[in-house]
Each structure stands twice: as C-alpha cells, then as structure tokens.
Structure 1
Amino acid sequence: MQKIKTALLSYGMSGKVFHAPFLNIHQGFELLGSWERSKKLIQDDYPTVKSYPTIDDLLADDVDLVIVNTPVGTHYEYAKKVLLAGKHAVVEKAFTTTVAEAEELAAIAAEKGVKLAVFQNRRWDSDFKTVQKVITEKTLGDLVEAEFHFDRYNPLLSPKSHKETVNDGAGILKDLGPHLIDQAACLFGLPKSVFADIRYTRENSLVDDWMDLLLIYEDFRVRLKASFFVKEANPAYTIHGKKGSFLKPRGDVQEDDLKLGKKPNLDSWGTELESLQGLLHTEVNGKEIKEKIPTLQGNYFSFFDGVYESIANNKLEPVTAQDGVKVMQIIEAAIASNAQRTVINL
C-alpha cells in the first residue's frame, strides 16, 4: 500500500483530536509531524514524528499531504502556499473567508494537478448518516421542510483570541455554520436563495454567536440554527414530508470520545446509545408506521480513507473544493442577507 506522507499545520485541539488519531491508524498514511510555533506537544503523543519550526521547513520536507488546520482567517494564505508547493491539501472548515478565495484555491489545485479536500467531517456523524439514509429512501414522501440545529449551552467567551476578536474568520456562522450548511448542501444541493438572521447574544461578545438561516429551494425550505444558549436541546434534525416526519436528536459520540483520548477502531467506533435513536412517523404502503430507527455507525475514518483513495488512486475527493465553494456562497449570501435584511438570490 502506498504511504502518503502527511503533516499538520498545527497540533492544538483539532490536530490532536480530529486528525492525528485517524492518520495514525490508517495504513495508507505516514504522519511526519506538525508545525508547532510555541508549544512542542506532538512528540509527547507520537515520539517518532517531527516538530517543524516553520511552515517552510515543513514544506521543504518530503511531504505529500498537508492538513491546513489553523484558524479560519489563515486558511487561504496557508493552503495557497501548500498548493503552490505542489502538495495535496486538506483544509478545515470554514474553507476560506470568501467565495473568491475558495475559487482561487480550487483553480490552483486544478492547475497544479494536486488534490484539495475540505474537512467536513460531520458528514460522517452517526446522526447525519441516518438522516441521509431516511431521506434517500423517500419514506417521508416529497419533502416540505427540514430544520437542522447545532446548539450548545456555553455563555462564556472562548479563551482562544482568534475566536472572539473581530476578524474575517470569527463567529458562529463560520464555526458551527459550515457543518450545517455543508450537510444541507450535501443532501439538497445549492438553494435558490437565502435569508439570514445573525445575532450577538453573549455578554461582551464581539462576534456573531447565534444564527438562523433559511435556505429556499423550489418546493421546500431548510432552516439551519445554531446558538450558545440552549440548555434543553431541540432535535438536531427535524424533517417533514408529505407522508411523514423524522426527528433525530444529536447523538454522535466521536468528538467526545476523541477528547477523552479514546483511539478510533473500525468495529464499534461511532456507535450511539440506543436511547438517541430517531423517531420515524410515516406511512408505507397504506400502513401507518411510528417507530424508532436504528442509528448508523459514525466514522470519521471514512473521510481519511476517501482522501487516501483520491491521492493514491486518483478518485474524487470525499469533500471537494467545489463543495467548499458552495458552502462559502451560502455563507456570503447569509452575511449579505443579514446586513440588508432581505432575501439574497444565488
């Protein structure tokens, strides 16, 4: 099996939790190390890897793939540098801060003949995979509306300055928003238009921390909501069709398990509690059905396996640069809609 030599651009929470564990267990990747500016931590977990003092030192090494997992406002600058160096890249969400930046990165990757993927790992959450299956099976009939939530209760400001200072990459729309937006676009494609309400709700917050986006499609509507003031959770997914409804609470365990230091495996990883199964209430062949639906297994490993296949066997990236462009188009439309208090056509 071809080994893809891979390096990270940071080893904070995302590098330690979301990337390194999967790169380490996948037989197709070799984790070379990470760029670490101040704290030198990666060798505590992976003693044989390198800690690069600069991005130039990292790119000068025999690296095939670079994970751009730095703050959102730096994604464009660093991803461009990686691509121009002829390296494959995975860029975290939000892909960039503007549509123009996203389109430029996609063009550079195409020109250089390298792979460029966006790390939209929530497509491989157990709850979303189950929602996707229910919608694909069309047991709800023609869709009328859907509502996706990514809510938390956390009134405190983040200690990470880049998350709470005014900059092009800060705010809930570019933090939790891309998860919801990408999932909606993955299921339904690009909407015809967008209406957005974006607010500041935490005390002393300088960045947006509440969002309500309405994606307008030809025959149905999708609402995307995120807030830091939800103590009693709504269903994470509510889908209503002309035959029935499906309600699913957020239940994916992968992030929590990774934060606890649990190592991903391919057998039981990403298995939800049965108590968090979604409720399907619909009609099939004239018979009314109201039952809990078993939740599919979640596994972020599938994203990395898709990246491997794209590089080693020239297959399509699991989340393409054009997928990233679509998400940025919706984000830009949401910003414009909120500012103008009107519907923005795409």
Structure 2
Amino acid sequence: MPAEATMPTLSAQGDAREPLRVGLVGYGYAGKTFHAPLIAATPGLDFACVASSDAAKVHADWPQVDVVADAQALIARDDIDLVAIATPNDTHAPLASAALRAGKHVVVDKPFALDSGEARALIALARERERLLSVFHNRRWDSDFLGVRQAIADGRVGRVAHFESHLDRYRPAVRARWREGAGRGAGLWFDLGPHLIDQALQLFGQPKRVQANFARQRAGALSEDWAHVVLDYRDGLRVILHAGMLVAGGSPRFVVHGERGSLVKHEPDRQEAQLKAGLTPGADGWGADPDAMRFHDGSGAVRDIPTPPGDQRRYYIGIERAVRGLGPNPVTAEQALAVMNVLETAQRSARESRSLPLPALAPG
C-alpha cells in the first residue's frame, strides 16, 4: 500500500504573510459548489476574482469578488497568484497552459486533461516555468474513503482480496449540459471515473490490467451513463469501480473483503450535500458522517466502526502551503497523470471488448 500523503493542519498559516490571491475560472457546478467555498474558507487564500459570463450569479453568492467575462483577462491580471480552473473538460489543458505561461500557479479540476499527451505537456510546462500544478482530486478527503483507508491500514480486514467502489446516482432524465453531451471529455466515466481511479491508486497503487464495460442506459443518452471497470492486481486482488445514473438506492459506497473479514460502508460522504445546502466549510457539523462502517468478522459477528469526518478544505490548505514552499503538493500532476493512464486504458478496453495491460508510465 502506498505511504499516506502528508496531511496539512487546519491552523491559520501566519497573519504576517500576504494572502495568495486566487482567480477562479468557471462558475458552473464545480466552481460554485466546490472551489469557491473551499477557497474562501482557506486561511492564507484571498478569493479575489471569477471569470464567468454570469456576473449576477457570482455576485449573488460573493458580492465582494471581482468578476470578469473572459478567462484570458483573469489569467493576465498581475494581482492573481493562483488560477483554479473549473470549466468544461475539453478546456482544462488550454486554460492551464495559458495560466502557466502567464506565470501563475494552477489548480485544474479533474480530469487533468483529455488525454495523457495533454497531461504530459502541462507537466513539462509547469517544470519549465517553475510553477505549482495540481489536480483537484478532492475525494481523497471524503469521510467514507478516509474511514475505509484507515480500516485497511489498521489490518482490520487483513489482506484485501476484493474491493468495490461505487459512485451511483439516480438521474433518469438526460439533462442538457456538457457533461452529458456527445463531445470529447463528456460522459460518466470522465466525470466520476477520475475520483474512483484516484482513490484506488491511493490504496493499492498501479494495477496490472484493466477491463472496462460502458453503456448508455437512459433514453436519449448521448454518452455513456454506466461504467463498470475491473482492475487486476497481483495476489488475486480485484478492484471494481462502478458508476451508474439509474441507481435509486441499495448500492453501498464501498465493499471490502479480506482474509480477516468484510467491511461495508453504505452511505457516501456528505460534504457535497452540505455545500449544496450552503453550509460553510468548517462550520459545526462540517464533514461529519453518522453512518458507521459495518465490519463482519470471520465468526459471523457484526459490529459498527465510527466513520471519521471528512474535510475537503485540506486540499486547498495543502495548496496554500505548497505554493509558499511550506509543504508538499497535495495532489501532484504526476499522480493525476497516473489516473489519466487508467482512464484512457479503460476507454480502450471498452472499445476493444478485452482486458488490457496497463501501460507503464515513463519516469521523469
């Protein structure tokens, strides 16, 4: 199992330092729901500007924040230190490239890019310009994942043989939005697959082989809305990554079977729901998860294990420290490239209807 990444503390990072001014490109679902409130709640960051075509929408939530209509205008501003990109997937790479060339540190929402070639070019550019480049894999700080990871690390289930991770939704009507359209970077696998893959790689490292099956299950679907991917590891470990849009209930978030027992986590982390409801990150109850994990031991006994709270603020707290040279990048571009490698291999596997070896990532 890979070593756990250093977890930054939540204390303020010193009042003497000037805050890093952050510009957010995009104020759709990801920008409004996740990035804006998390940036605003992070000590040492100043949520300064948004690039959006709907200034009224932004100012209804953040009246003090500047709004510009054009992403390039935001990127060109001398008073912006960090650019967070929360736009449609096919714009991630060109916008990140423009921001790096303008001398900005960059956070890119997942997926990193549309393919590994774009991702590698961004990594090379960030190194050339000596700027931080990170990808918003915020689900590393979800309560459900933190609880399951701790239970595995503690040896509670013993050697893991079977692991299931589900991100299911019940949205039977196809909506008119780019995520559900027919363009490049659309579809459920590009939307939720990066979360599923990143968590699996954090737990188990790189698999040997990938086998994927995608489908369009809803009437009028323009891109895949069902994904089932199996990652093959050594010693017989099988990791199942699953997402669907016609799941009204009954599917647990995680299932782990091992030599000492089984662990089931039914309900997902609640931070997304809390953010949608307007709860400020860090407020009372933030990240709390009353849904305990259930552990079934070899004797047939069942007991509950409390789930630790989640806290996606830790991502941007890590970013603030990393930009200042006080800590590691919480999600490196190289880690995000590894996610892209699995994402692409699964696409090929689904097209060719066969299991494929995972290509080795070249060092450097």
Same fold (TM over 0.5): yes
Give the number of equivalent residue pairs.
340
Residue of structure 2 aligned with 1:81, choices 98, 102, 107: 98
Name the residue aligned to 1:230: 247
CA deviation vs aligned residue, 1:86-122 (integer Å, no higher than 9, x gap) = 1111111111110111111111111111111111111
C-alpha deviation, 1:225, in angstroms: 0.5
Classify the secondary structure of the residue corresponding to 1:8: strand
State the Cα distance separating 1:221 from its structure 2 match: 0.8
Question: Do 1:163 and 1:171's aligned partners in 2 also have CA atoms closer than 8 Å?
Answer: yes
Confirm or deny: 8 A CA contact 1:33 1:42 kept in the other structure.
Answer: no
The answer (yes or no) to whether the contact 2:188–2:227 under 8 Å persists in 1 is yes
Q: Distance in 2 between matches of 1:245 and 1:232?
A: 21
TM-score by length of 1: 0.95
CA–CA separation in structure 2 for the residues paired with 1:106 and 1:249? 37
Q: Which residue of 2 aligns with 1:336?
A: 348
**Structure 2 partner of 1:67:** 84
- State the match for 2:225 in structure 1: 209
1:49-198 equivalent positions in 2, closer than 5 A: 49-61=65-77, 62-160=79-177, 162-198=178-214
1:36 alignment counterpart: 52
CA contact (8 A) 2:99 2:105 kept: yes
Give the residue type in structure 1 aligned to 2:232: I
SS in structure 2 of the partner of residue 44 of structure 1:
helix
Which residue pairs with 1:293 in the alignment? 305
TM-score of the aligned structures, taking structure 2 as reference length: 0.90
Match of 1:277, as an amino acid?
Answer: A
Which moved further from structure 2: 54-63 or 74-83? 54-63
How many percent identity over aligned positions?
36
2:256–2:264 Cα contact (<8 Å) kept:
yes
Native 8 Å contact 2:286 2:311 kept in 1: yes
Q: Is structure 2 residue 268 aligned with structure 1 residue 256?
A: no
Paired residue for 1:47? 63
Shift of 1:329: 0.5
Q: Which amino acid aligns with 1:215?
A: L
Runs of 4+ in 1 over 6 A off after TM superposition: none
